[in-house]
Amino acid sequence: MTDMSEKLSAYLDGELSADEAATIDAALASDPDLMRELESLLAADTLARDSFQAMVEEPVPLALASTIRNADTVAAPPPQRSWTGIAAAAAVACFVIGGAAGFFVGQSETGSSPGWLASIADYHGVYAAQGRHLVEVPAEEADHIQTWLTATIGADVRIPDLSAEGLRFQGARLVVAAGKPVAQLMYTDGNGRVVALCQIGTAAPQDGFATTTLNGFDMVSWGGREANFVVIGDEGRPDLVTIAEIAAAQV
Amino acid sequence: MALVSAPLGKKTVCTASRVHALSVAAAGTRVRDVTDLKQTMITSLPRLRRFARTLARSIPEADELVQEACLKALKSADQWDASQPLDRWLFRIVRNTWYSELRKRQVRLGEGQIPAEESDELIETATGEALAIAGDLRRAVDALPSELSSALLIVSVEGYSYAEAAELLDVPIGTVMSRIHRARKLLAGRLAETGEDQA
């Protein structure tokens, strides 16, 4: 029976010859136990497919995609590293954006506190799932949003046009991070995925761009006029750096 | 969870044109292929990670494996036969990279292995415990012995034939068949247990 049992899998996978398949067909017609076994294998296969489908839908870490995008393909092979060291090495990357310009990402600063970004990641986790209640003030009131948030956070708030990256402005929220008011501008892409641009007033804006991943979201932050900015989206979003660049040029 | 700073100083700016120039200098006319290769590789990352997860048992380890394999692939891009599907080549590199790592570990630890197709139980690893706690049947796949889940993935989900899977996994066709069947039987057993628990 073991042989027949194993052949059931091959039967399911279309790996049997016509003669062997006919033998299985005949056996299935006359043996209810064998038919039940086939049904259990089919159920197992369905379970496996669902599980594997869920795995492939998980977001890819930004660092992994960035490391590949910026890998040197022509120099000597990479030095041997311990496996535990590879993740740290992933933090050293050279972003190349759109063929025009890029920016260098320096050494990992794993010891530093992400500060307001941790709160932003938490907010994003909450609000990005809100659907109909995504925003506090809708996009139709864009003028009011700019006036209101500029007055509240103490820095000039502008609403960048991110339609070049397929993002549509949906409206805004006011949130609090590190004890200070933060303007949160919400955008959605064609798939309904939310990307937020957040802005916090500061007298000492961040120097240059930085990427980080917190609570399952990728973030690209930078400093501007009397404010720090961050673009946040799903972990693994390949276009987040481009979005940040486009936003940075407009705010 | 690394926070990385990125000063935009002139000395540290790395432009696409610089990368392009380097590539042209060393790779000549193949630069377009390498660019395409990278993009295709990035597009394939979800599937490469999934395959890696059937080999390595944790997500961080699977990600390290995929990264190492992709970097290897990029270093040996000239060995890629463009007439062959890229994913097959990449799966192969992921698999070889993993087994190379595994051999090192076995040498270090002096461990032997029981043939997976003879396995008669799911592995109660960290994810296996989560399976018990969460009662989440879908995690049963995580608890399959590595050789069983990779064979099942490659054939049942990725659509490879037994012969192609045998070549990719570097085992005889009969072993592929045994592993896939064993995987299904273990999952079927889990389904049956769950059904009994609920009855």
Secondary structure letter of residue A115 according to DSSP: T
> Which residue of B15, B38, B191 is in closest CB contact with A44?
B191
Residue with structure tokens 């799911």? Answer: B122
Q: What is the pLDDT of residues A72-96, one digit of tens each?
A: 764 333 334 444 444 433 333 333 2
Tell me the chain B residues in contact with residue A121 when contact means C-beta distances shorter than 8 Å. Answer: none
- Helix (H, G, I), strand (E, B), or coil: what is residue A173? strand
Quote the minimal CA–CA distance from B107 to chain A in Å.
16
> Which residue of B38, B49, B184 is in closest CB contact with A60?
B49
Q: Decide if B177 and A78 are in contact by the 8 Å CB cutoff.
A: no
Q: What is the pLDDT of residues A193-220, one digit of tens each?
A: 899 999 998 888 888 888 888 767 888 9
Instruction: Say what the pTM is.
Output: 0.53
- pLDDT per residue rounded down to tens, chain B (199 residues): 333 333 322 222 232 332 222 222 233 333 345 667 787 788 788 899 999 999 997 889 999 999 999 999 988 887 777 777 888 889 999 999 998 888 887 766 655 555 666 666 665 544 444 444 344 676 788 889 989 999 999 999 999 999 999 999 999 999 999 999 999 999 999 888 877 655 5
Q: What is the ipTM of this complex?
A: 0.72
Q: What is the pLDDT of residues B113-141, one digit of tens each?
A: 556 666 666 655 444 444 443 446 767 88
CA distance A227 to A205: 6
